Homo-oligomer: A and B are copies of this chain.
């Protein structure tokens, strides 16, 4: 899988290029995209200014490959791309980009949702929430 992990934030331009690459695929009728953006969450008196992501790379790649195979079969997709940031992503920036494409729209929403949930549950990614006060806490997925 190419560019599974992106250093820093995922830019809108990167997303545009990814979309543009699909315009030669003439059987695709529907795309669904999920983007996760870093929120300025308040934690007690602190406010998140960025999240610093790290991962256990070998295992993360293995899980992503498995997820990819499962999702392709489950949802009959034409294309599927997953990108996740590694390193610091500031508030307002994008840290996860899931992009699925299929001939018809029916399954694309569920496919994206499934992939996002699986990434959150099964892929060994870790997030340190950095506060403006220069303290931090470890992100817990809900």
- Give residues in A with beta carbon < 8 Å to B: 12-13, 15-17, 19-20, 22-40, 91-94, 101, 103, 105, 108-110, 112-113, 116
Contact = CB atoms under 8 A, between A and B. Distances in A.
A109 B108 CA distance: 9
Contacts of A15: 12, 15-16, 19
Contacts of A19: 12, 15, 35, 94
Given A12-B15, A12-B23, 15 more contacts: A13-B16, A16-B16, A19-B35, A23-B37, A26-B40, A27-B40, A28-B37, A29-B36, A30-B35, A30-B36, A31-B34, A32-B109, A32-B112, A34-B108, A36-B105
Contacts of A39: 26-29, 103
Nearest to A13: B16
A109 B101 CA distance: 15
Given A17-B12, A32-B32, A23 B109 contact: no
A31 to B, nearest CB: 4
Contact of A112 (B25, B92, B103, B109): B109
A30 B26 contact: no
